[in-house]
Amino acid sequence: MPGWIFGDQEKLAAAGGNSSAPGARKTDDRFLDQAQKNGLYVTLGLDVARERHGFDYSNSNSVARQLGGDPGQVIQFKDHPHC
């Protein structure tokens, strides 16, 4: 059974779900630890610039900066067992 983005992780796990996502909420260790406690995996998205907000994928300098971006979230959560 797939997971959901918003809602109660305990109810999701009880219903047979296997994954959750923080959605618009800021991801933190508490969210990941709760997911681990409930036997759920977490899908994290990386924030990237969007064309609808003015990002220009034709601009090679902008694309290079984005590809070299801030690895903070990856570094922060890469070793959590349920990411």
- Return the pLDDT at 30: 83
Residue of higher predicted confidence among 48 and 23: 48
d(CA 8, CA 2) in angstroms, rounded, equals 14
pLDDT tens string 30-64: 888 888 999 998 887 777 888 999 999 999 998 88
pLDDT band, very low/low/confident/very high, at 66 (cuts 50, 70, 90): confident
d(CA 8, CA 80) in angstroms, rounded, equals 21
pTM, full prediction: 0.64
* Partner residues linked to 41 by β-bridges: 19
